[in-house]
Amino acid sequence: MSATLLETRQITRRFGGLVAVDGVDLDVAEGEVHGLIGPNGAGKTTMLNLLSGHLPSSSGSILFADADVTRHAAEKRAIAGIRRTFQNLKLFKELPALDNVMVGLHASTRSEIFHALLRTPFQRREEREIVERAREALDFVGLGPFADKAAGSLPYGHQRLLEIARAFVARPKLLLLDEPAAGLNGAESKALVDLIRRIRAAGTTTVLVEHHMDVVMPTCDRITVLNYGKLLAKGTPQDIRHNSEVIGAYLGKGSALKRERAAQEGAVHAAP
C-alpha cells in the first residue's frame, strides 16, 4: 500500500454560522488520483482552499508529506509542492500562454525577484531554463503551438488546459484541480481524462474536484464524497457508484451521478 501524502484530521471551516467543511478526515495516498465529489455547496471548493492554504481552517489539522502545514500560508505550501487550479480561471489574459506558465515557476519572494532583475549570467541561464520548462509543460497539455498567443484569445477549453499547465509546470507533489472539466465539450473532457492519467504517470498526486462523472470515474483511484460539509463516503469508484447513501444524496437533485447512471443504462440498453 502507498504512503499517505496528505491527511486532514477533523478539518473544519466555518463561515459565520455555516459550517462549510465539518470535521472531515481525508487521506490521499502518494501517486493516486483522489476524487472529491458531492452536490453543489457540499464544501468541495472550501476543502481545496483549506488544502492549498487559500483559506485558514477554523479547527483541525493538515499533514502534508509528514509535516504539519495547517498554519502555513499558500506560498509556503506551493514551495513545499502543493499547486492548484481555480474554478474561475485566474490567467493573465493579455499575456502569452507561455508567460502564464512561466509564472508557475517564478520565485515569489522579493529578494529573489530583486536578484532576477540584476540579471547575472546565472539568472539568465535560469531564465532560459524557465522558458524551456514552460514550453515542455505547454507541450504536455497539448498547447505547444499556442505558446505565443494571448491567453485570453484561446478557446475556453484551452484556457482550462493552460491553467493546468501553470500548476503542473513546477512538477508538484500534489496537484489540486478545481472542476477542470467545467465548460468542456465531450471531446475536450476525453482529452482531460487522458491528461489526468498522464499527470498520474508522471508521478504527481492529484485531488480532483469535479461534477463530471465521465471524468471522475475513469481517472480516480479513490473518491471521497462530501455532503453538507460532512464526509458521506469514501472508496473506489466502484464502491461509490453503488453506495446507496451517495446515490440518495445525488438522485434527489438530478445530479451528475444520476446523469451518469442514465447514460450507463442507455449504453447497456443499446448494447447488442
Which residue ranges make up the site for ligand ATP (CB under 6 A)? 15, 18, 20, 38, 40-46
Which residue pairs from 132-137 have beta carbons closer than 8 angstroms and sit at least 24 positions apart in sequence?
A: 133/105, 133/169, 134/98, 134/101, 134/102, 134/104, 134/105, 134/165, 134/169, 135/98, 136/169, 137/101, 137/104, 137/165, 137/166, 137/168, 137/169
CB nearer to ligand ATP: pick between 134 and 240? 240
CB nearer to ligand ATP: pick between 113 and 251? 251
What is the smallest separation between the CB atom of 72 and ligand ATP, expressed in angstroms? 20
What is the smallest separation between the CB atom of 14 and ligand ATP, expressed in angstroms? 9
What is the smallest separation between the CB atom of 46 and ligand ATP, expressed in angstroms? 3
What is the smallest separation between the CB atom of 187 and ligand ATP, expressed in angstroms? 24
Backbone angles phi, psi at 261, to 5 degrees: -65, -40
What is the smallest separation between the CB atom of 168 and ligand ATP, expressed in angstroms? 22
Look at the alpha carbons of 144, 148, 164, 133 in this order and tell me if their dihedral is positive or negative. positive
* Three-state secondary-structure class, residue 125: helix
Neighbouring residues of 252: CB distance < 8 A, sequence distance ≥ 6: none
CB nearer to ligand ATP: pick between 42 and 138? 42
What is the smallest separation between the CB atom of 125 and ligand ATP, expressed in angstroms? 42
The DSSP H or E segment spanning 8 is strand 4-15
CB nearer to ligand ATP: pick between 83 and 211? 211
Name the nearest CA neighbour of 84 among 180, 167, 196, 198.
Answer: 167
What is the smallest separation between the CB atom of 119 and ligand ATP, expressed in angstroms? 41
CB nearer to ligand ATP: pick between 44 and 173? 44
Residue with cell 465548460: 183
CB nearer to ligand ATP: pick between 55 and 162? 55
Neighbouring residues of 27: CB distance < 8 A, sequence distance ≥ 6: 4, 6, 7
CB nearer to ligand ATP: pick between 46 and 57? 46
What is the smallest separation between the CB atom of 15 and ligand ATP, expressed in angstroms? 3
Q: Radius of gyration of the chain from Cα atoms?
A: 19
Alpha helices in the chain (DSSP H): 44-52, 74-80, 97-103, 110-118, 121-141, 156-168, 186-201, 213-219, 237-241, 244-251, 256-270
CB nearer to ligand ATP: pick between 45 and 70? 45
